Structure 1
Amino acid sequence: MKKKVTMKDVAKELGVSTVTVSKALANKEGVSDSVREMIKQKANEMGYHCNQYGNVSNVGVNNIVGILVAEQFMHDSAFYSKMSQTIVKDLMALNYFAILEIITEEAEEGGKLPNVILNNKVDGIIILGQMNKAYIERIDASKKPYILLDFNDDHFNVDTIVSDNFYGAYELTSYLISLGHKEIGFVGTINATTSIMDRYIGYYKAIIQNRLEFREEWVIRDRDSKGNIGEIYLPHEMPTAFVCNCDETAYRLILLLKKYGYRVPEDISVVGYDNYIYATMSNPTITTVEVNVEAMSEAAVNSIINRMKNPSGECGRQIISGRMVIRDSAAAPST
């Protein structure tokens, strides 16, 4: 049986990139008329075919990865922007390419498949950040290879790459305890994402391991179940420190504490998680855990490429360690 000709074959024959071939065959901008005509002629000679709409057909999709991010995570989130940019860079270094698609809340709730799948634009998918189970089931049913990044869902037998959220929060809480804090709260809606859940469990382990008092009123919501950040309501009786599920929440909590006359860290210490822009724009700057974005991106890129090459291979979970960054928002409790 004769092997089907792909974009990669055409690109190799002409000494140009696969992206250039893709743009030329799809009549997109970024390719000169002469190069476009040369590519189309060579593709025709080699027996490469495009579909009737002028888009690259299924057999022409090569080395292209879709990155799907829920819209809620791209609102003022330097963390997810940095993660997606790093993935694109790492893919390009290996001669792969990326298409980033933002999934709206309406599309996720309505089960509308991403355009990159509907239009058969990609060979594999990286789902970056939490999405609901029903939506992932739709992606799973498309039979496109995919992986989960920065969250996990045991319902799906796929490769997963996550930060060591459990140990990071455990380390932060232990640090507060080492400063002398015995009354420590947690700020984060526990069931909103698996990352927040894991960070809460890390906090909780440090509390019970050190035989400190655990009080449910010190576990405070910061967002709704869909991840939309909302108001923080302080408890009637305050702890001396808070572990926050992310730096943005820590930043907002510090502003709220100041509004009510508390000094940070003299009266109440606050720590965050992620180490992005809110950690350094805060006054005081926030003690936090830095997520190793570079290592997570590298693991995700290697994982999706392996999955595209070997769809039936054994799946696994990779946990990427971060590091604690000590700044000014935590201190020994006042006596």
Structure 2
Amino acid sequence: MKMDDIARLAGVSKAAVSLAFSGKPGIGAETRERIIQIAKEHGYQPKTRSTASDQQTDSITFLVFANSGIVLEQYYQQPFFRELIHYIEERCRANGYSLIFTSVDMANFQHGIRTIAQEKRTDGVILLGTNLDKAHLEQVSQQLDAPLVVLDTCFEMLPIPFIQINNIMGGYQAGAHLCGFGHREVGYIASDIRIRNFEDRRIGFMQALRDNGVALAEDSVFAVAPTILSSQEALKRQLSAFLDKGHSLPTAFFCECDYIAISAIKSLTELGYRVPEDISVVGFDNIQEGLIVSPELTTVHVEKERMAHLAVDMIIEAIETDTISFSKILVDTHFVERLSTRSID
């Protein structure tokens, strides 16, 4: 008789069986009693941790490799990551785990991995993969001797559990919204630092334009820093140069993230344009700052709470059952229409 068999007989997951035996929260009292009773009836004896281990607090590490591009050294102050961390902390606490924060400078990538692997001070690792490529993720997974779940990116060919935004869907929703509002002259404001998320958002957006018979002119694509919430001189220079060539600005812009969208609204305002009366602006991520900017930002909502819960639940299941599920979970987005877009008269 194994834990799998108890789970099957009780009609629950292996993680629920483990929670029942450990006495941790996360399942109801009736479910816990049913699992324990079935175990007794079949003579199953759960494995127990050593005394030294029992005296330790179960912990999960939130691992970040910071750089000067997307994931900054003070990543916990960046709105998107701040919200994500909040939900991860809540979920860990609800399940009796403490959350340890570990940040490594990308310039010391190799040394950072070795140090974390040698310390062995955590039961599992949730890795923020936003700014990491396939090679980075392979190295991390090969050297860490603990269950691992990667959050906010995905490489389908790697045998690693991933929780990822459906960025293609979100980009498509943004494009469909603008086309549905009658916009035919559409512009695109990209990040000047490229990651998988942004590439997928562009794929979805471009597909929406094609499906609606709208073309994106090459010279209507601009690029700016993705982590600045104020107006950007770089964007104002690009837009001014575009105007100097005799062009008219597009009637709408899709921005690859809310940071860029908020920055674009401020930059356009300083150039004398009104949002949305003259130009509509759509962002992506639905950070709280989008409700503060004027006008309130139309954006693509990312289910940050759902992603956080999935990541924590997956890593706890791996810890409690001593098995790893190599699932890749894609979390859908939904569109939030606010005041920064309007239809063409």
Q: Same fold (TM over 0.5)?
A: yes
Task: Work out the CA distance in 2 between the residues paired with 1:114 and 1:124.
Answer: 16
Taking every aligned residue pair, what percent have the same amino acid on both sides?
Answer: 27
Residue of structure 2 in register with 1:135 after alignment: 136
**TM alignment of 1:30-179, pairs within 5 A:** 48=51, 63-71=58-66, 72-73=71-72, 74=75, 76-108=77-109, 111-113=111-113, 116-128=116-128, 129-142=130-143, 143-179=145-181
TM-score, normalised relative to structure 1? 0.74
TM-score, normalised relative to structure 2? 0.72
Q: How many residues align?
A: 280
In 2 relative to 1, CA 263–78 (structure 1 residues): closer, same or farther, beyond 3 Å?
same
Q: Any conservation in 2 of the 1:190–1:196 contact (CA below 8 Å)?
A: no
**TM alignment of 1:205-284, pairs within 5 A:** 205-223=207-225, 231-232=234-235, 233-234=238-239, 235-236=242-243, 237=247, 238-284=249-295
Structure of greater relative contact order (alpha carbons < 8 Å, 6+ residues apart): 2
Output one character per residue of 1:13-71: Cα deviation in whole Å (capped at 9) or x when no partner.
xx9xxxxxxxxxxxxxxxxxxxxxxxxxxxxxx9856xxxxxx8xx9876321111243
Residue of structure 1 in register with 2:309 after alignment: 298
What is the Cα deviation at residue 182 of structure 1? 0.8
* 5+ residue gaps, structure 1: 1-14, 16-45, 50-55
Q: Any conservation in 2 of the 1:285–1:327 contact (CA below 8 Å)?
A: yes
Task: Work out the CA distance in 1 between the residues paired with 2:114 and 2:251.
Answer: 46
Q: Any conservation in 2 of the 1:62–1:122 contact (CA below 8 Å)?
A: no
Q: Secondary structure at the match of 1:262?
A: coil
Task: Work out the CA distance in 1 between the residues paired with 2:152 and 2:207.
Answer: 21
Q: Secondary structure at the match of 1:147?
A: strand
Superposition CA RMSD, Å:
2.9
Task: Work out the CA distance in 1 between the residues paired with 2:196 and 2:227.
Answer: 15
In 2 relative to 1, CA 47–98 (structure 1 residues): closer, same or farther, beyond 3 Å?
closer
Task: Work out the CA distance in 2 between the residues paired with 1:103 and 1:184.
Answer: 39
* 5+ residue gaps, structure 2: 1-22, 24-48
Q: Secondary structure at the match of 1:140?
A: helix
Moved more, 147-156 or 173-182: 147-156
Task: Work out the CA distance in 2 between the residues paired with 1:85 and 1:131.
Answer: 22
Q: Any conservation in 2 of the 1:61–1:121 contact (CA below 8 Å)?
A: no
Task: Work out the CA distance in 2 between the residues paired with 1:47 and 1:287.
Answer: 53
Residue of structure 2 in register with 1:307 after alignment: 318
Q: Secondary structure at the match of 1:113?
A: helix
Q: Give the counterpart letter for 2:156 in structure 1.
A: D
In 2 relative to 1, CA 61–119 (structure 1 residues): closer, same or farther, beyond 3 Å?
farther
Q: Give the counterpart letter for 1:197 in structure 2.
A: E
